[in-house]
Amino acid sequence: NAGVMQNPRHLVRRRGQEARLRCSPMKGHSHVYWYRQLPEEGLKFMVYLQKENIIDESGMPKERFSAEFPKEGPSILRIQQVVRGDSAAYFCASSPNRGTYNEQFFGPGTRLTVL
Amino acid sequence: DAKTTQPNSMESNEEEPVHLPCNHSTISGTDYIHWYRQLPSQGPEYVIHGLTSNVNNRMASLAIAEDRKSSTLILHRATLRDAAVYYCILPGLGNTGTASKLTFGTGTRLQVTL
């Protein structure tokens, strides 16, 4: 069973461009979470999605950031008009729905560099 | 989520046991105690979780105080590959009634030396 897959692993964008980060959850997992880790800082929750629904977006910046998890295909984290402060490692995690406890499985991350 | 407090860093010699403490004095009765770790340049990795009783798995043991206000992650024989930042997390329950987001603090950076 393949783990959580993220691509690209490294992404370089110039200021003002768009960044699209993709996450394929583990097989059978219908819950996806996105986290951001700024340089030398801890991980911060961004958004939690189930198939076709956003469950909790309390950690998402109000502007330029959006996320989706369509019925078919990977989850996408989209950052419009990137700025240097968006440079960070973005991690995706997935979990099954097993009741009151859900272990999260993390991908290797996408390292975004904004020039 | 309930707040956790961990030492910033700890050191251990290889092949010796390591006890990583975590204080969570505001824990509620339904909070599970989770531990994750993050190796350099990698995504976080689940280690272990528990509610009231001590727990063991192939990676580690989790000792939970009787009043549940603190817990200790035990690595029985540290190796160089255990060098990582260890996070103690109490995720609580989201509005769907299941554990949801993880709130990572600063964790404990474990250094393992030969």
Spatial separation of the C-alpha atoms in residues A115 and A17, rounded to whole Å: 10
Q: pLDDT digit string (tens) for B64-83?
A: 999 999 999 999 999 999 99
pLDDT at A2: 76
Which residues in chain B are closer than 8 Å to A45, comparing Cβ atoms?
101-103
Return the number of CB contacts < 8 Å for A and B. 67
Arithmetic mean of pLDDT over chain A? 92
B55 touching chain A per CB within 8 A: no
Mutation site for B-interface testing, chosen from A56, A97, A106 by largest number of B Cβ within 10 Å: A106
Q: pLDDT digit string (tens) for A30-55?
A: 899 999 999 888 899 999 999 889 98
Contacts by residues B59-66 (CB-CB < 8 Å, ≥ 24 positions apart):
B60/B35, B62/B33, B62/B35, B64/B33
